[in-house]
Amino acid sequence: MSVIHRYFEAFNTGDTEAMLDCVTEDVAHHVNEGQIRSGKARFAEFCAHMSRCYREELTDMEIFVNGAGTRGAAEFIVNGTYLSTDAGLPEARGQTYRLPGGSFFDLRDGRIARVTTYYNLADWIRQVS
């Protein structure tokens, strides 16, 4: 099983520690329409924030890794529940949402060195508003 498969399996089970085991110490996390977070500690903070505000499961997943094993990509559907209001976003009232998303990866020494995630924020806002 590839590190990307393990990463998403951990995501879907809410196992942040297992997700952190998949990334490098200097991981670069490119957030959808946000700032780049560098390092495992900042990534862990982001995961804790997301777990507080959202419950999500990714389905219909397709994962691709290049022949050299240095880059990867995944396409999926995000199935979520908005649990707690996230600053600057609509008020959370337990709304559910479903939207396509994708992630791109740099891989190094069997771990994820960069993860960039994209989804349509305007579509998400429409669904929870």
Position 69 scores a pLDDT of 94
- DSSP string spanning 102-125? EEEEEEETTEEEEEEEEE-HHHHH
Mean pLDDT of 118-124: 96
- Using pLDDT thresholds of 50, 70 and 90, give the confidence band for residue 34: confident
Quickly count: other Cβ atoms within 10 Å of residue 45's Cβ: 12
- Using pLDDT thresholds of 50, 70 and 90, give the confidence band for residue 1: low
Q: Inform me whether the pLDDT recorded for 49 exceeds 90.
A: yes
